[in-house]
Amino acid sequence: MKTLVAITGIGLISPLGNQLDEVFAKLMDGVSGIRRLACDQTGCKPAVVGAVDFDPANWFTRLQLSGVDRVSQMAVAAATQALDDAALALPEDKEQVGVYVGCAMGGSTALDKGFQNFYQTGTRVSPLSVIASMANAPAGHISMRFGITGPSVNYSVACASSAIALGEAMRAIRNGEIRQAIAGGAEAMLLPGIINAWQSMQVLASPEGDHPEQACRPYDKTRSGLVLAEGAAFLILERLDDAMARGARIYATLDGYACRSDAAHITKPDVAGQVRTMRAAMADAGLTPQQIAYCNSHGTATQVGDVVECEALQQIWGEGTPGLQVSATKSMHGHLLGATGGLEAAITALALHHHQLPPTANCQQPDENCRVQHVFGKGVAAPQLQAAISNSFAFGGSNASLVLQAWPR
């Protein structure tokens, strides 16, 4: 019999706040955390971003902060919050615990500062630049913070990174390699050079005059692109029988995971690849499409991506996706790249726990090419909600889907 995996803790550092109840309430009200970029650096063009309000002094001493990039600082904070939320005392044998992190771009702030020192000011580059900028630094810092000696790994798979981290952590628990995992993702790359590179691809949303919070508009005819964001999201995963034995609060169970490749195009998404991924995740969970009532979609608000994902959903659930309601929460928190899958999995778990569906915000003119059952504007009650799917579709054609179920059944 397959070992069931419970989600017992969630920690967030997000553009919508750092407290679970506050974040979910804002999501249900359709409140956006997207703002105009405050930037006084040369070459910084107008942009809207999902920035977080984060003070590392709440989590690190001044001495500890030496050589710790912003991405690792937020990862440690969110992981600590998740453990506290789970009320989980780690076992004496910490080899039974794993740290699984998704981080696509690593310590961008450390790299950016190093380049500035070398090319602009001619000053000394810090010898800590390498260790601060490593993509696996967040995983290392979490492991060291809690003395965890089990697997400590990072997945760098663009926008699918933390969804894959969660899925692989679930597999490790299922297979008996570990009993508990701290799994999720972190990203911190709101820097002029990186934003400018994305602007050059012409995929970023245009600043919206006096209403930058409305810039990200998935499924709207007038959508102009995605909004880059930063943050961290971590979940505590453990064997369901262990969680029940200690009387833990269980948000949901993580029952299905699949990762598949489009093998078609480096940036353009592919309907067939997404269909394969979702079907494989549902099969892993032992569920049919008819048993899944909610999809937290990848929904980035790009012209091509939104249509492709809706076509994929229609191929599985049928024209108009009867029985499946869909929303894109990136409309409110932006796209955290490697950390997005973790944040959206957390939101999906909260939706199942509260039996409420968060909406897609800012869509005033629905695109007729995105024919699915949308949740628009504000969230809705879903008293019968039992199962949901969360999608993460990445550049490189790497797709990941997670299937979660409410608990108790």
Which residue, among 161, 396, 232, 392, has the nearest Cα to 296 in the 3D structure? 392
DSSP readout, 220-276? BTT---B-BB-EEEEEEEEEHHHHHHTT----EEEEEEEEEE--S-SSS--HHHHHH
Find the catalytic residue in 103, 259, 298, 370: 298
Amino acid at 177: E
Cβ count within 10 A of residue 149: 13
Q: 212: which DSSP letter?
A: G
Note if 141 is an active site residue: no
Distances (CA, A) of 77 to 45, 54, 60, 349: 30, 9, 9, 20
Find the catalytic residue in 141, 333, 335, 374: 335
DSSP readout, 147-167? T--S-EEEE--GGGHHHHHHH
Instruction: Provide the Cα torsion 246, 247, 248, 252; round to 10°.
Output: 120
Find the catalytic residue in 159, 216, 295, 363: 159
Cis peptide bond prior to 212, omega within 30° of 0: no
Tokens 């928190």 sit on residue: 333
Q: Can you tell me the distance from the alpha carbon of 155 to that of 104, in angstroms, rounded to the nearest whole number?
A: 7
Note if 159 is an active site residue: yes
Note if 363 is an active site residue: no
* Residues that are catalytic: 159, 298, 335
